[in-house]
């Protein structure tokens, strides 16, 4: 016999609070009368829930609007000062830490540059700890008032019941690193503040799906193009995204050795680190003594000079080959997953895509089946280099909204269907 799920009054109350809070968050100011049809709750339930949320400071009044033949209706909105979050991007060139208010407006930020190809775990943990301390000091926010800290990292993230989030980052030399436990041991935050750790491509994609180039898409693949390359699939009707180790798709049997140790990975040809190596091998002269982002800028400028000069042949050849490798890799995603939209982000993706996205798109179409290729669009992300940190901050935010703004124990399971429905309603309107 199938086990019957028993829902308590407390469960129903939490769901009602979540429904109201999510609607106000995603759709902006609404009246109590509008919240009833929008949430499916009775007018009495809406009044009770709103009264609770206002008393707790999560919701506030935001003026009024005239109604047809009646008294003006009071508008309600989420209170941006009702909670604070931190988003962190453990990237390939730096660790970026940002503090946000409840509506994800930035309050403070700091960065910690990383030495090239150096991802020593203790250094990263200290960067995160000191960065959190710095942004909290800059904003004057108390540490125990945080709703949570979200962190985007390279690699595969798994949840261990004893150690929390564990990171498998083969390309950066991380083998089952218990990052959450190490952060707890560092003593940076009270135990009441939850950590949410996930793949960086996933956090970038979630930010673009909520607030950027992915809004309105029923299915999408987000691409994180930096020193390496990664992706995240947001399938139709699924509760959350699924990170993909797309950079380790084999595109050349017996080809160049990838950072992961395998030959012929896409990342060995299309990641920024590999692209710069290929330019040097082809006779190019990348500038010395500067970071990877500056060197990629130099390569792109050499391949397509803005002053009308002649392009550097070696640079142009490398860029053309990179566009083709990226296009072929995207064709694999198009044929296998058939997304409605592909979003290209990451610091290298935004640089490269600004001048060469059309070449990538042409190669993707050439290597794809006609039917799925005709249905997909390809765009640059709209949130810029902060997309990973914004997306990381959405991890604790989604959990808090899904719990109706109550409790301190993070819910690590998949996002509930009601959350997905609220998000779809928001992005389609």
Lowest-pLDDT choice from 6-15, 99-108, 129-138, 213-222: 6-15
Task: Tell me what pLDDT residue 218 has.
Answer: 92
| pLDDT, position 67 | 65
How far apart are alpha carbons 198 and 395 in whole angstroms?
9
Residue 222 pLDDT: 97
Neighbour tally for 5: CB within 10 Å: 6
Compute φ and ψ for 225, nearest 5 degrees.
Answer: -115, 105
Structure confidence at residue 10 (pLDDT): 83
Average pLDDT over residues 53-67: 84
- Residue 419 pLDDT greater than 60, yes or no: no
Model pLDDT, residue 68 = 63
Mean pLDDT, the chain, as a whole number? 89
196 phi, psi to nearest 5 deg: -125, 115
Q: With cut-offs at 50, 70 and 90, classify the pLDDT of residue 117.
A: low
pLDDT interval class at 421 (50, 70, 90):
very low
Selected residue with higher pLDDT from 385 and 199: 199
Q: Is the pLDDT of residue 399 over 60?
A: yes
The predicted pLDDT at position 5 comes to 58
Q: Nearest CA to 20 among 403, 393, 414?
A: 403
Q: What are the pLDDT digits (tens) for 39-52?
A: 999 989 999 999 99
Q: Residue 428: pLDDT above 60? A: no
Give 406's pLDDT tier (boundaries 50, 70, 90): confident
Report pLDDT digits (tens) over 322-344: 999 999 999 999 999 999 999 99
pLDDT band at 70 (very low <50, low <70, confident <90, very high): low
Q: Which tens digits make up the pLDDT trace of 251-290?
A: 999 999 999 999 999 999 999 999 999 999 999 988 988 8
Residue 422: pLDDT above 70?
Answer: no
CA–CA distance, 47 with 40 (Å, rounded to integer): 13
The reported pLDDT for the residue numbered 11 is 83
Burial of residue 40 (CB within 10 Å: 0-12, 13-18, 19+) is exposed
Question: What mean pLDDT comes out for the span 334-360?
Answer: 96
Q: pTM for the full model? A: 0.88
The residue-averaged pLDDT of 168-192 equals 92
Q: CB 397: neighbour CB atoms within 10 A?
A: 23
Average confidence (pLDDT) over 115-122? 83
- Top-confidence residue, 390 or 64: 390
Query: What is the 3-state secondary structure of 384-409?
Result: HHHHHHHHHHHHHHHHHHHCCCCCCC
User: Which among 279, 328, 325 is positioned nearest to 303, based on CA atoms?
Assistant: 279
pLDDT at 174 over 90: yes
Q: How far apart are CA 91 and CA 152, in angstroms?
A: 8
Each residue's pLDDT tens digit, 2-39: 555 577 888 888 899 999 999 999 888 888 888 999 99
Q: State the average pLDDT over residues 291-316.
A: 90
3-state secondary structure the chain: CCCCCCCCHHHHHHHHHHHHHHHHHHHCCEEHHHHHHHHCCCHHHHHHHHHHHHHCCCEEEEEEECCCCCCCEEEEEECCCCCEEEEEEECCCEEEEEEEECCCCEEEEEEEECCCCCCCHHHHHHHHHHHHHHHHHHHCCCHHHEEEEEEEECCEEEEECCCEEEEEEHHHCEEEECHHHHHHHCCCCCCCCCEEEEEHHHHHHHHHHHHCCCCCCCCEEEEEECCCEEEEEECCCCCCCEEECHHHCECCCCCCECCCCCECECHHHHCHHHHHHHHHHCCCCCCCCCCHHHHHHHHHHHHCCCCCCCCCHHHHHHHHHHHHHHHHHHHHHHHHHCCCEEEEECHHHHHHHHHHHHHHHHHHHHHCCHHHHHHCEEEECCCHHHHHHHHHHHHHHHHHHHCCCCCCCCCCCCCCHHHHHHHHHHHHC
Predicted pLDDT of residue 97: 97
């Amino acid at each position: 016999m199938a086990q019957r799920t028993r829902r308590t009054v407390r469960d129903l109350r939490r769901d009602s609070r979540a429904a109201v809070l999510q609607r106000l968050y995603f759709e902006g100011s609404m009246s109590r009368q509008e919240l009833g049809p929008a949430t499916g709750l009775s007018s009495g339930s809406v009044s009770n829930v709103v009264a609770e949320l206002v008393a707790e400071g999560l919701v506030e009044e935001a003026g009024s609007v005239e109604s047809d033949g009646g008294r003006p209706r009071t508008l309600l909105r989420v209170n941006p000062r009702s909670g604070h979050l931190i988003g962190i991007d453990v990237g390939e060139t730096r660790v970026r830490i940002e503090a946000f208010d409840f509506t994800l407006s930035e309050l403070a930020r700091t960065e910690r540059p990383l030495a090239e190809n150096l991802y020593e775990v203790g250094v990263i943990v200290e960067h995160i700890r000191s960065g959190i301390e710095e942004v909290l000091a800059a904003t004057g926010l108390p540490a125990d008032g945080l709703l949570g800290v979200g962190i985007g990292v390279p690699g595969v993230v798994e949840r261990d019941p004893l150690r929390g989030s564990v990171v498998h980052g083969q390309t950066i030399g991380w083998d089952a690193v218990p990052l959450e436990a190490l952060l707890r041991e560092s003593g940076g935050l009270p135990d009441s503040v939850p950590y949410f750790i996930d793949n960086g491509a996933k956090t970038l994609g979630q930010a673009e799906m909520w607030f950027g180039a992915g809004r309105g898409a029923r299915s999408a693949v987000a691409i994180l193009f930096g020193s390496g390359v990664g992706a995240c699939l947001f399938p139709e009707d699924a509760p959350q995204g699924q990170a993909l180790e797309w950079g380790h798709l084999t595109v050349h049997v017996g080809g160049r050795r990838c950072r992961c140790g395998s030959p012929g990975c896409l990342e060995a040809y299309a990641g920024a680190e590999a692209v710069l190596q290929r330019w040097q091998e082809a006779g190019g002269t990348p500038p010395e003594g500067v970071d990877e982002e500056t060197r990629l800028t130099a390569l792109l400028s050499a391949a397509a000079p803005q002053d009308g000069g002649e392009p550097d042949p070696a640079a142009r050849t490398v860029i053309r080959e990179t566009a083709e490798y990226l296009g072929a890799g995207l064709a694999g995603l198009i044929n296998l997953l058939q997304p409605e939209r592909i979003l290209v982000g990451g610091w290298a993706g935004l640089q490269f895509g600004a001048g060469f996205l059309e070449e990538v798109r042409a190669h993707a179409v050439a290597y794809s089946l006609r039917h799925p290729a005709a249905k997909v669009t390809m765009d640059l992300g709209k949130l810029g280099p902060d997309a990973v940190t914004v997306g990381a901050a959405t991890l604790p935010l989604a959990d808090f909204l899904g719990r109706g703004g109550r409790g301190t124990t993070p819910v690590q399971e998949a996002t509930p269907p009601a959350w997905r429905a609220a998000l779809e309603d928001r992005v389609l309107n």
